[in-house]
Amino acid sequence: MRHARRRVVRRGTQLAAVGGLLLGGAMVTTAMASETPGGAAVPFSSAAEAGDTGSALVARLGTARTAGSWIGADGKPVVAVTDRQAAAAVERAGAEPRMVSHSMNELKAATAALRAAPRVAGTAWAVDYRTNRVTVEADSTVSAADWSDLSRVAARIGGFVQMHRSQGTFSPRLNGAQPILSTGGRCSAGFNVTNGQTDFILTAGHCGPANTVWFDDNQGDRQLGTTINTQFPGNDFSLIQYASGKAGDNADVVAIGNGQGVRITGAADPTVGQKVFRSGSTSGLHDGTVTALNATVNYPEGTVTGLIQTNVCAEPGDSGGPLFSEGIALGVTSGGSGDCTAGGVTFFQPVTRAMAALNVRLAGTAGNGAAGQAAPAAPSAAATHSAIAPNAASPGASAPVGSAGGTGLVARLTDTRNVGPGLLVIGGSLVALVAARYFRAEQDRKAYQRYYSATWG
């Protein structure tokens, strides 16, 4: 009976060890398959080759024959074209053509004429690719006389310039996702960036001038860092150098509330029609879509150009907060109008442009390309915003906010994102298999000795 139990235990141990080897091998294979490649992200890479993307088609066909591109409801790139030959080229590339009346050259000439007119605070304009128009917004602070003057400018340009009045006022949205405080007010930590030696916070430029000292508590006991570079107006971004020089653990995570965050894996320029997410300390996490690019906003403090325009709501206290989608950094909150009850218009400083100007890259992410690149690499083609239908997008992979704990050997081996756990399972299985074989051999040897002794005795 005792020998039978031993055989059962031994056989069970051997089967468990073999199962562990198979499981560990599968874990290692899965981890290696999901590792971040070193190549650059390709917009619309799910639709076709890089040369067949919407933006590449616009560049190839030229601004005299096209009028921008955007993402359709099915996630397929749509390109506005002005002639049938261009439409045929778009179709051959696997994208959807849309015939329009005005080329990008005409639309840009219209925005240039608006920019040349006398500046009116409280106005904004952008090219709406999908309607093939230039939309001009004026908030409640614009007087009737200024509205009349601007309307006459629009009428001289042409009927494709549309005027709209909006509620509220266009103003910078101070504060943000993870609050940072100074004597001048409260702002938001947008994204952690680095130049390779020192870590910084990328946030909005209107948050404070150079040499502003920031804290992460209301009492001013814990100094966070100091603003070393700021651009506003014109652009709207600034760089805060950490007092310790390092961002610490989870530098690639942005907060979305309730102690949770989204892991940022790369940066890119957004596309019109793309679903995006914005996080801020006042209003929390909200989503919407990109409605226009290269928007111009005339804040009371000055004019900012080249902004991303969205219909994501924001409120005073959300400025500098991160704009992202599928874990890809897109922008930092600049300003807007309205609120998260009635809705409104929100503008964002593109991250890629800010990082190129500051010669930094995202901190804590792998495969991000060299500092100063226009679009650092995203983790993979499948994870880019352009590979996902707008209404199917998500913020990105969830992660806890705050310290990640130890970063030593044990922490790395137990991290499910790498091959460590699989190797541990394989190692344990091998030990169990060898031990089972050893004990069996030892028992067989002792049994043989007993039998030999009894026979010769």
319 tagged catalytic? yes
> How far apart, in whole angstroms, are the C-alpha atoms of residue 353 and residue 343?
27
> How far apart, in whole angstroms, are the C-alpha atoms of residue 205 and residue 33?
40
The CA angle 173-176-180, to the nearest 5 degrees, is 115
Structure tokens at 176: 């943000």
> How far apart, in whole angstroms, are the C-alpha atoms of residue 298 and residue 280?
23
Decide if 351 contacts 375 (C-beta within 8 A). Answer: no
Residue in the block written with tokens 């940022």: 264
Which residues, at least 6 apart from 182, have a Cβ–Cβ distance to it below 8 Å? 207, 208, 212, 213, 214, 215
| One-letter amino acid for residue 276 of the chain | V
Decide if 100 contacts 129 (C-beta within 8 A). Answer: no
Sheet holding 77-81, edge to edge: 66-71, 77-81, 96-99
Catalytic residue among 236, 252, 269, 318: 236
Query: Closest Cα partner for 74 from 390, 394, 395, 393?
Result: 390
> How far apart, in whole angstroms, are the C-alpha atoms of residue 295 and residue 381?
28
DSSP string, 330-353: EEEEEEEEEETTTEEEEEEEEHHH
> How far apart, in whole angstroms, are the C-alpha atoms of residue 205 and residue 14?
64
Pairing type for strands 361-362 and 191-194 reads antiparallel
Query: Closest Cα partner for 129 from 278, 251, 289, 236?
Result: 289
DSSP string, 161-180: EEEEE-SS--EE----SEEE
Query: Closest Cα partner for 267 from 213, 160, 192?
Result: 192
Catalytic residue among 52, 139, 206, 252: 206
146 tagged catalytic? no
Catalytic residues: 206, 236, 319
